[in-house]
Every structure is written in structure tokens, then in C-alpha cells.
Chain A
Amino acid sequence: MPVEVALSERIEAFLAELKRGGSGAGTLRGSGETARETTALLRRITGQAQWSSAGDLMEIIRKEGRRMMATQPSETTVGNMVRRVLKIIREEYARLRGSSEVTDQQESLHQLLTSGGLSEENFGQHFKDLRANVIEAINELLTELEATTDHIAMQALEHIHSNEVIMTIGRSRTVEAFLKDAALKRKFHVIVAECAPFCQGHEMATSLSEAGIETTVIADAAIFAVMSRVNKVIIGTQTVLANGGLRAVNGTHTLALAARHHSTPLIVCAPMFKLSPQFHNEEDTFHKFVSPHEVLPFTEGEILSKVNVYCPVFDYVPPELITLFISNIGGNAPSYTYRLMSELYHPEDHEL
């Protein structure tokens, strides 16, 4: 059927984009864009695929979701959006079924301790409003996604006072918006660590200085040397893990240790869609490596074959080193992450 073909073509196109985007140096598009595209695609699937009950829909979404996650395991926002949509489907189904399940849903702490009363539920019942409701809910999710950066940036003035020295690393669109918003009303100084070998800090620095903020670019090696003069460290991250730790660009762990040594607060600006139910000790999937020619180029040909060269992209930052998370729903401590997770995702969906 033509609708089916168009849908699968879109899915294939999206998967190809994902694959290409991750193998370059750093991501070609921000994770916000990925999240929005994933959600749009899931909405399309909901609208156009053939399904009769909630269970069928969840099965289709799970299948597509697994495919998408397998294409690019390091891009966790894809999996997060899939899990959000699954939770939406469960909620809508429960709402249509009746109020008893709604009360069950509200007892989320109870639900955490017991292994979920809905596990016996097979979602077999057919409701004709389900499709429309789910699509509406996904639309709300999309609106929320579009506004995340603005919501985070709005909180900037609560955290930055004047004449501060703020340090950041690499390039994060969220942090950029955060700092530019604060710069409209306050004067402060930003130090950007360039984050070799991709040196995304350079782009960040040019963009900030063009917005009128006093910026300095330093090499990664100078992070500890200048930390004694820094008042706050504000960073972005790729993922927020289930224990409140971070999977951030490499060099962030060193930055966090230096901040703790000087008792400087470390603030992480991360929208909610980056929260992922993974833990960091999953050895195979945590680290991602790119081509070592970024570190030791082919011009060093003589020694290249005799040497092991590593170029990891991500770093793990334990939750003890983090002071505050700022997300689109407000600020929270790392110890609160488990609670936020239970509100966003259903425990059954942690493993897709």
C-alpha cells in the first residue's frame, strides 16, 4: 500500500541520517533536533500504520525503536523518545479504560516497589479514540520539545550574578542559549575549554563573543591552572544517566574533579529528553570511539603502526561531583533523578 511504502521510506531515510550523523567528528545536529525528528516519525507511525489495539501499536513502536537504537547506540535521545511515546500510549489506554487504572498510575512510588500491577494487562482492548488521543498527546510532547531551550534559558538570571567568571567546555547549544540570555542583563566573563581533538569550544567562543560576552579560549591542559579563579562551571551533556551521573564530552570528568578541588559549583543544563534509564557500567555501550587520526594523524606514519591510539568521545561523571541540574521543568539535585525518571518512563520500557 502506498502509505506503508512512504512510511517505511521515511523510516529508512531517518535511519540513514542517524548513522551518518554519528560517525563524523561530533554530532552534525544537536540532540534536540534528533528528539524532535524521532517524535515526529513516531507520530507518523501512529497515524499511518495498521494497528487495532494499544498492544499492537506498542509492539510496532518497540520494533521500530529497537531498529533506530541499534543504528546509533550512542544517540540516546532516540530511545528516550520511544520510551516517552510508549508511556503516553499506556496512559491514554488506561484513561480510556477507566479510573481504576488511573489511581494505580498515580501511586508511582508504590508502583516502583511492586513490579507494576499492569503487567498482566495485555492492552488488547480496542478503543476508537485511542489513535486520536495518542496523536494529540504526542503533539503536546512535540511542543514541549520545541520550547525546552527557552525554558532553560529563562532560568539563567537566577543563577548568574554580575562580574562572575564562568567556565564551560566544548559546545552545547543549551548552555549557549543560557549564557546569551543572562548576558542581556548582566556582565560576566566566560572561559571556554576548547575540548580537543574536535575543538568545538572554538565555535562556542566565537558565538558567545559575538553576542557581546567577554570570552577566553584556553587549551584543555590549562583547566586546573585557571580553575582557581572560576566562580561557576556550567556545562551541557549528551545524556543524564539513571543514577544522576553524566555521559558528557571527554574532558568533563577532569573539569568536574578540578571544580570539586576548588569547591566550585558544577551546574549541568540538560533538558528532560536527555534523561535516560541507562547506567554507566554497561561496558559495551558506554564508550564510543572515533577514528584515531584525529589524535595522531597519518603524517606520523612511521610510528602509527606500532602504537595504540584511543580517541574516546564520552566521559563518565559520577553524581557526587555535580551540584545542580537545570532542566526545562526547573532545577533539581542529582539525587532526585530517579523520581523524575519514574514520571517520564514506565519501568517495563527500560529494556526495549
Chain B
Amino acid sequence: MADADETSKQAERNTNVGDGIAVKKQDIARAKNEGKELTKDEKQRLRKEKKQQKKNKKDDKGESEHENVPLPPSQAVVQCQSQKAPSVAPSLALTPVSVCTSEKPAKSKAEQRAERRARQEADRAAKGKKGESAQQPPSGKSKAPPNELQPVVKRLPEHVQVDDPAAVRKLAKKLERQQIPVRSEYGYKVSLFSHLHQYSRKAPLTQQISIPSTVIHPYIVRLGLQYSQGIVAGSNARSIALLHAFQKVIQDYKTPPNEELSRDLVNKLKPYISYLNQCRPLSASMGNAIKYVKKEISNIPCLCKEEEAKKQLLSCIDNYIKEKITLAATTISAYAIEKISNGDVILVYGCSSLVNHILCDAFDKKRKFSVIVVDSRPRLEGREALRRLVKKGICCTYVLISAVSYILPEVSKVFLGAHALLANGYVMSRVGTSQIALVAKAYNVPVLVCCETYKFCERVQTDSFVSNELDDPDDLMVTRKGKIHLENWQDIRQLGLLNLVYDVTPPDFVDLVITDLGMIPCTSVPVVLRVKNVDQ
């Protein structure tokens, strides 16, 4: 019998596989030699047991790497299953023996049903155990085989869970481990926003750490202070400052003796990121930049020398800045100029570096247009944009946002910048942007949003409440005729001040989004994200 010879040969080859399978193979060979054919069920069982044995082998290797590499959920599920499997496998291994030796097929069916039930219970128990150990929904991963529409398992970011005491404690513990002080909340928070942080600008985090700090690199300390005081503001500026600071960190980095650069450097960056997050919540663009840097670091081959590795990382970061920010701005500007005609009156809001760049470029290319700069309290960022445009020589008008419905009948186009573009087509930008888009829509003025692709993010959001940033409420105070009306707002129990930083604009208010990949409608953002993911 050729089959029997083959199976016995396989059995010899797989001698390093667990005993169960070898025993089974011999039994099955015996069964074949005795003239009985394997039933379908028995063949299926065999296949499943082989798979489990292979997984056992992988998991032995996987357990040794457990401390360094964070386990994705699928491996964790397999681990749990494999913990159960050895207990199941021997029972399964035993049963074929009994099946083969018995001569009644009816009994084997009952045994099969029992085994199936046992396996199902093992799976359920494994899922339950996994559900306790990790707080993520595991059902998607454990059931579906990996395909394109794999559900993304996301963890809720900590900065929108301030009203949950468990999350706050978890954050405090994490920060303690990283030796970073916790920033304390300030002032009465409006009940609608009790899930967000609210800090005071007069109490920066640096007051609570010793300077020079032993844990945090001095460039990062300085950067954190610049963020929290508003000296570095605007998503492009913040990302570029962050990447430059990372370059300095990498330059000053020395690999400790028994560690690999690719793993240790990533761990070194984690407390810095927590610290910066405490100073001011990270923006979507900064998040994408950090992901890129971490990926580049972990892709450094372990045989690479330290100097070479550092040089490679520095040039990677330079390339990122050049490609995603500088060159993207040039491309967007080239597209946008097609949309600016002579005699246009263009309305801009606040200070967006990209929109200013576009307008200055268009002015250099001899287009004749005038600009209306709309500004809002309390940040008054429009004055900075006004200064830059006037310096260039562009003819400008300046109003506050409450006068926008007075000035809009004269406007031919509205150019807005964005902080991030969300996956459901909403535009997240400085607070007031959605208002301008709303009034522009009412007057039938086209609204164009300019945004680089590195600011696209996979989050979805429909209103400005669930995820936002609360700025210092004291900024709303103003002196009029020598008197500050809100001076003692802290003393009045029923009074609250709300200083929002971002808001989301629905896609029906936006007519066009100009990105470095071209001019797309707002709803094409998930397509771009998918293309980017496939590329990477």
C-alpha cells in the first residue's frame, strides 16, 4: 500500500512533532492496513490537530518575544487556545485510538459529538479569558480570517476619558512609571465637556519637574513649554518642531550595552510623547508623524552600526518634512492658483500657514486679488496672517467673525485651512471655521479647504463635543473701559467659561478639498487613506 508507506514515512519525518501525532499516525496506518478507510470526520480531526501542533511550535517562540514586542490580539487568542489545546489534544489523540480499535461506527459518532462540544467549550472559555485579560473586543479577530475589511480594534484615547476615574488612575500610574508629573485641572468645567482636560496657561508642567530634568531631554522640555504657552501653534509648525526635536534626541542618543537601537530608542521616546501630551494634547498631524518615526526606527536592521542607523533616521525625518510638508505645500499651491482669478475677493480665517503660502505664491505670479481676513477672540490669530500678507503687499481688509455676514456679499471665494480631515469627510479645524462655511453656504460662496495628506486621520466624528481641546478659560476675560466684567468668574458658582479650540465642519458646507494628491471632494478622504495604507 503506497498510502501506508507514505504515511509511515511522514511519521518518521515529523519525529520532532509532538508525540500525539506520531501515535495517531501509527494508529491510522494500522487502521488503513486493517482495511478500514478513514471517515471524513476523522480526516478533519486529523487536519485540525496538525494545525494546533504547528501553532504550539510557533507559540513557544512567540512567548520568548513576549516582553519586547506587543502581542497583537490574534496571537494572544491563539496563545489562549493553545493553552487549552494541549489539554484537548491528548483527549483527541486518545479517542482516535479508541475509534480505530473499536468496530462500531455509531459509537465513534457519539465520541465525535462529545469532542466537538469540548472544543466549542474550549473556544468559548478561551474567548472569555481573553476578554478579561485585554479590554479590547476580540470577537472580530478570533473569528474572521484576515482579509481586506479587517475591523480595526481601537483603544479610546485617554484625553477624552477624563470623567472616568479608572482611566484617570491608569494614566496617573503610567506617568508615574515614566517619572512625568501629572498636570492638574483648572477651573469649573462646563458639564457638557467634563470628559476633556482643562488646564491653565499660568501653571505649565515645567514648574513641577526639576530643571535640568534627568528623565526628559532638554529639547523636549523646551518644546513642551512652547506648546503649552502657545509660542508654537498651528499644526504644521507643531509637527515640524516635533520632528526637529526628535532629530536632536536621536543625535544625542547612545545605545545602552545590551540593547538594540531599534527597540530601545522607541521606548526612550514613549515618556517624551507622554510629556508632550500632558503639555498640550497631540494633534492628528503630530500623531501621524510619530507613527512614521516609530516605524522607521523599528525597521532599522539589528546588524546596522549605531552611526549609520542614526544617519539613516535623521535623513528619513528630513525626507518626511520635505515630502509631506514643504513639497506638498508647493503642489497644493500650484493646484490652488488655478482657482484664483483676477479680481477675486478671497476670504480667509485665522492664520493657516498653507493658505498664507498659497496667497503669497499667487501674488508672486501676478494675480490681482484682494483678501479679507476674518479673526476671532480670544486667540486673534488673524492678526499674524494680516501682518504677513500686508508685508507681501497684498491689499487686505480685516474684520471680526461677528461681522462676517456683513462682509460676505462682497466675497467671491473662501479659502480655509484644516487641522485634520476625518474619515467621514468632516473637516476638523480651528473653532469658527464651521460658522464661516455655514454663512458662506447661505450666500452661495464657494468654500475651498486646503489640507496636506499627512493630516488625514482615520477617526470619525460628527460633532464638536466628543473630542476637542479646552483652552485656558481665563483667555475670555477682556478689559473694557477699565473694567473686567468676568474678573471673579471663579467665585460665582453658576458661571462657567468655555474656550474651545477646534470644531468640525460637515462635508456639505465644503465644496472642494485641495490636497497634494489633487483636488478631491470631502467624501473621498477614506479613499485616500486606503491608498496611503496600501502604499505603505
B386 near A257 (CB under 8 angstroms)?
no
Given the contacts A217-B496, A218-B498, A250 and B486 also touching, CB distance less than 8 Å: no
B400 near A214 (CB under 8 angstroms)?
no
A250 near B496 (CB under 8 angstroms)?
no
B438 near A218 (CB under 8 angstroms)?
no
9-residue interface stretch from B125-133, B294-302, B429-437, B450-458:
B429-437
Residues of A within 8 A of B376 (CB): 196, 219-221
A228 within 8 Å of B (CB atoms): yes
Chain A nearest CB, measured from B314 CB (Å) = 39
State the interface size on chain A (CB cutoff 8 A). Answer: 51
Sample (23) of A-B pairs whose CB atoms are under 8 Å apart: A25-B481, A195-B402, A199-B377, A199-B480, A209-B492, A209-B494, A212-B494, A215-B496, A219-B431, A221-B376, A222-B432, A222-B500, A224-B434, A226-B498, A250-B403, A253-B405, A254-B405, A258-B435, A287-B406, A295-B399, A308-B396, A310-B397, A311-B399
Residues of B within 8 A of A309 (CB): 397-399
Residues 199-243 of chain A, each 1 if its beta carbon lies under 8 Å from chain B, else 0: 100110110011011111111111111101100000000000000
- Name the prevailing secondary structure of the A interface residues: mixed
User: In the bound complex, what is the Cα–Cα distance between A197 and B400 (angstroms)?
Assistant: 8
* Chain B contact patch, size range: 35 or more
B503 near A307 (CB under 8 angstroms)?
no
B153 within 8 Å of A (CB atoms): no
Q: Which of B200-224 contact A (CB under 8 A)?
A: none
B396: which of A197, A217, A307, A311 is its contact (CB, 8 Å)?
A307
A-B pair count, CB < 8 Å, reads: 164
User: In the bound complex, what is the Cα–Cα distance between A296 and B292 (angstroms)?
Assistant: 42
A residues sitting closer than 8 Å to B (CB atoms) are 25, 194-199, 202-203, 205-206, 209-210, 212-226, 228-229, 250-251, 253-254, 257-258, 261, 287, 295-296, 300, 302-303, 306-312, 315
A219 near B378 (CB under 8 angstroms)?
yes
Residues of A within 8 A of B492 (CB): 206, 209-210
A206 near B495 (CB under 8 angstroms)?
yes
Residues of A within 8 A of B335 (CB): none
- Name the prevailing secondary structure of the B interface residues: mixed
What residue of chain A has the Cβ atom nearest to residue B404's Cβ? A254
A225 near B503 (CB under 8 angstroms)?
yes
A196 near B377 (CB under 8 angstroms)?
yes
User: In the bound complex, what is the Cα–Cα distance between A303 and B394 (angstroms)?
Assistant: 12
B486: which of A205, A223, A258 is its contact (CB, 8 Å)?
A205
B503: which of A195, A222, A257, A300 is its contact (CB, 8 Å)?
A222
Q: Which of B495-514 contact A (CB under 8 A)?
A: 495-500, 503-504
User: In the bound complex, what is the Cα–Cα distance between A308 and B403 (angstroms)?
Assistant: 14
User: In the bound complex, what is the Cα–Cα distance between A282 and B464 (angstroms)?
Assistant: 39
What residue of chain B has the Cβ atom nearest to residue A223's Cβ? B435
Given the contacts A206-B492, A221-B376, A258-B435, A216 and B497 also touching, CB distance less than 8 Å: yes
Interface centre among B387, B402, B434, B439 (most CB of A within 10 A): B402
User: In the bound complex, what is the Cα–Cα distance between A257 and B403 (angstroms)?
Assistant: 14
B47 within 8 Å of A (CB atoms): no
B377 near A219 (CB under 8 angstroms)?
yes
B390 within 8 Å of A (CB atoms): yes
Residues of A within 8 A of B400 (CB): 196-197, 220, 295, 311
Residues 414-433 of chain B, each 1 if its beta carbon lies under 8 Å from chain A, else 0: 00000000000000001110
User: In the bound complex, what is the Cα–Cα distance between A311 and B432 (angstroms)?
Assistant: 18
Residues of A within 8 A of B495 (CB): 205-206, 209, 215-217
B403 near A296 (CB under 8 angstroms)?
no
B476 within 8 Å of A (CB atoms): yes
